[in-house]
Amino acid sequence: MVSLNKITSNKFAEIVFLNLFLFPIYPDNVKPSFIALFFIIAVYDMVKKRNIFFNSTSKVTSLLLTNVSVFLLLLISLNYSINITYGLKYIFRSLPLFLFPIAFFFLKENKSIFSSKLFLKAKLYFYASTVILFIVIFVVFYFRGFVTKNYFLNYSYRIIHQLGYYSVHPIYASLITAISIIFSISLFKIKKYQLLIIFGNILLVLNLILLSRKSAIIIMGAFFLVFILFNKSIKVKIKAFILFITLVLIMGVVKFIPDISNRFNDFVVLFDYTNMSSSNLRLNLIDVSIDAIKEKPFFGYGIGDTKDILSNLEHKNDFFNNKYYNTHNQYLNFMLATGFLGLLLFIIFLFKNLQFAILGSLEQFSIVLLFILLMFIENILDRQNGVIYFAVFINYFSFYNKINR
């Protein structure tokens, strides 16, 4: 008979772990509670098994040190920040970068957490919860009378402003959509899931289109193109047919869906710095950020002062019309906060985790690469959803591959 103690330490850990992959359907105010609970379970597991460092290989320990380094770097930069209040808020929001590597390190002796069976179940949970989220959004919008001829035009605006605790920024909705589509590749190999995956992927691709984030669409389009072209199991004629149909669909979407059309028209006015397009906004933000970085290139301004420094420079630039924008680039934000030395450490951290993902699978590599690419156009770690999903996937992939090698 299985003891209550064993059920508590193993099964309960699995249940809470799987709940992390249901985050797409959880309100934002619930997610921190599950993160805290998962960390407490990990600490309990470590104390019970007394496995903190004594049973650790040097490789697993070095992974822990690598993956907590980003949070520690931000924490150190707080010491030379002037605006401590903003800095503390940022540090608190960044806690998943610290908690998840430690939690997975403490759980390294828990074989069920790092089993292929539970990993597959986690992927299924994440995929299903993302599909359910967008079904629920459509149903809510339908009963509120939002599903009209202008539905395509207002979708991105409404998921930010008209869903209450379930509101989500389009870039993060695009992120979980893209991750789910990538997971679907391995899930589709299981026969009993195939109908779910076909239905789900139709919905997810439609959702990605409606969200109208051109960066996510371009990245996923490139991933799809590489997958089709280099997949030896697909015949050349079928590849040509798929690519032709894809091209026709893309041309139709760009032409007939206004949000998509407007966003891709940004490229027409690119480098016209007087035009307030999203692409030109980012180009102006790059210029302003580089001007600020030149003043303190080595150690930056500290995480507490990045917003104030950027805001002051933007107010002097007529393009921004007295509005504040963050850098919209994670790498520039790291340089502002921690200088070139901090950026170098962050790049090493990303490169190491990309290496671990390559050892795992194509889907893990694709998801880590997705985060790396999106960081060129978005401050992923500035928002709760961004930092949580980044910390969960980056750390679980790396520890999973290290422990199972």
Per-residue pLDDT tens over the stretch 183-192:
998 898 898 9
Q: For the residues 142-171, what does the mean pLDDT come to? A: 73
pLDDT at 268 over 50: no
Q: For the residues 225-246, what does the mean pLDDT come to? A: 71
Residue 220 host element (H or E): helix 214-229
Question: Residue 2 has what pLDDT?
Answer: 47
Interatomic CA distance for residues 180 and 197, integer angstroms? 10
Q: Phi/psi at 321 (nearest 5 deg)? A: 55, 45
pLDDT at 95 over 90: yes
CA dist 75 to 90, 93, 130, 304, Å? 10, 12, 33, 10
Return all residues near 116 (Cβ < 8 A) that are at least 6 apart: 404
Interatomic CA distance for residues 116 and 103, integer angstroms? 19
Interatomic CA distance for residues 237 and 26, integer angstroms? 43
* Residue at token pair 């600490």: 43
Asked if residue 68 lies in contact with residue 290, where contact means CB atoms within 8 angstroms, the answer is no
Interatomic CA distance for residues 100 and 224, integer angstroms? 30
Higher-pLDDT residue of 344 and 146 is 344
Token pair for 274: 């007087």
Q: Residue 271: left (phi > 0), alpha (psi -120 to 50), or beta?
A: left
Q: To the nearest whole number, what is the mean pLDDT of the chain?
A: 84
Question: Residue 90 has what pLDDT?
Answer: 95
Please state which of the ranges 25-39, 147-161, 373-387 shows the lowest mean pLDDT.
Answer: 147-161
